[in-house]
């Protein structure tokens, strides 16, 4: 300590001034380290992704202006808009840019481009129809979690199990989550078995293939919620967005 104070004196600084400068410098350094450890800079768009017919466009309009979108056609282009984010007391607490991406397999490459600018992802699935669409849903999640720019970012992901209003047909959140988890595990095994640089990134993002994949233990925070975009039951999506602003 004496040596440090002597060093300060050699710079012509009073001991208390020198100590104050040191405290500020150490605090700043710690803040920088914390920021880096939390995964670096994220983009600024929230992406709505997922298989065709899941309800992304319906959710997009519901969030944007509370309107009911007549989802009769599959989207061929993305929709972009700003969503006013409200807290649970219905007060506007900020806004986020939201992108509704088409689920059509031929347009999936769009998602890859937008992931460079992603701040968070909402994977919208049809909870009544998850079993036949589990591969697409898991592929989308796989793409997100192993994307080179996302790998180091700890991107928040919400699995929105939509169409919860179809009470007798809609599967539970737990079922949807486990179905996607299992499918993602299968994809991880296949990709790791293929080897190469790609498999290193897969292991980095999804863990080693010798243990069962657990969504809750991945680097990115992955949560799931039951919603109904059509009936306006989207509070859990709003809560997810509120954590971003």
Q: Which residues bind ligand GTP (CB under 6 A)?
A: 52-58, 71, 74-75, 102-104, 124, 162-163, 165-166, 228-231
141 binds, among Mg ion, ligand GTP, none (CB under 5 to 8 A by kind): none
Query: Which of ligand GTP, Mg ion, none does 52 bind, CB closer than 5 to 8 A by kind?
Result: ligand GTP
179 makes contact, choosing from ligand GTP, Mg ion, none, with CB < 5 to 8 Å by partner type, with none
Q: Which is nearer to ligand GTP, 35 or 231 (CB)?
A: 231
Q: How far is it, in rounded angstroms, from Cα 198 to Cα 239?
A: 34
* Closest listed residue to residue 52, CA positions, set 105, 15, 115, 109: 105
CB of 153 to ligand GTP, least distance (A): 25
Q: How far is the CB of 73 from Mg ion (least distance, A)?
A: 8
Q: How far is the CB of 51 from ligand GTP (least distance, A)?
A: 7
Task: Tell whether residue 57 is a contact of Mg ion (CB under 5 A).
Answer: yes
Contact 122, 19 (CB under 8 A): no
Beta carbon of residue 98, minimum distance to ligand GTP (angstroms, whole number): 13
Nearer Cβ to ligand GTP, position 108 or 154? 108
Distance CA 6, CA 12 (A): 10
**Strand, helix or coil for residue 184:** helix
Closest CA to 80 of 41, 133, 117, 40: 117
Residue 99 Cβ, how far from Mg ion at the closest point, in Å? Answer: 11
DSSP lists the bridge partners of residue 233 as 228
The token pair at 221 is 């925070």
Among the listed ranges 28-36, 72-80, 138-146, 152-160, the one in contact with Mg ion (CB under 5 A) is: 72-80
Q: What is the CA radius of gyration of the chain?
A: 22
Task: Provide the 8-state DSSP code for 45.
Answer: E
Compute the distance between CA of residue 74 and CA of residue 62 in angstroms, rounded to an integer: 17
Q: Considering beta carbons, is residue 52 or 209 the nearer one to ligand GTP?
A: 52
Contacts of 111 (CB under 8 A, 6+ apart): 47, 49, 101, 140, 143, 144
Residue 156 contact partner, candidates ligand GTP, Mg ion, none, CB within 5 to 8 A by sort of partner: none
**Of residues 42 and 56, the one with the C-beta less far from ligand GTP:** 56
| Site residues, Mg ion (CB under 5 A) | 56-57, 75
């Amino acid at each position: 300590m004496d040596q440090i104070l002597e060093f300060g004196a050699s710079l012509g600084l009073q001991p208390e001034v020198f100590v104050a400068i040191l405290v500020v410098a150490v605090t700043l350094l710690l803040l920088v380290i914390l920021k880096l450890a939390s995964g670096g800079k994220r983009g600024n768009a929230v992406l709505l992704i997922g298989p065709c017919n899941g309800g992304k466009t319906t959710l997009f309009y519901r969030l944007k202006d509370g309107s009911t979108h007549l989802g009769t056609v599959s989207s061929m282009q993305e929709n972009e808009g700003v969503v006013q984010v409200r807290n649970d007391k219905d007060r506007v607490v900020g806004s986020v840019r939201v992108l509704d991406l088409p689920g059509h397999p031929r347009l999936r490459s769009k998602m890859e481009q937008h992931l460079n600018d992603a701040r968070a992802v909402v994977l919208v699935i049809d909870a009544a129809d998850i079993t036949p669409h589990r591969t697409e849903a898991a592929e989308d999640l796989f793409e997100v979690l192993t994307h080179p720019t996302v790998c180091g970012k700890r991107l928040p992901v919400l699995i929105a199990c939509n169409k919860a209003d179809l009470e007798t047909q809609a599967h539970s959140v737990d079922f949807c989550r486990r179905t996607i988890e299992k499918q993602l595990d299968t994809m991880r095994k296949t990709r790791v078995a293929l080897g190469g640089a790609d498999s290193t990134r897969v292991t980095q993002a999804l863990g080693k293939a010798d243990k069962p994949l657990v969504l809750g233990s991945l680097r990115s925070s992955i949560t799931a919620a039951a919603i109904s975009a059509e009936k306006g039951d989207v509070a859990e999506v709003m809560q997810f967005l509120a954590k971003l602003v």
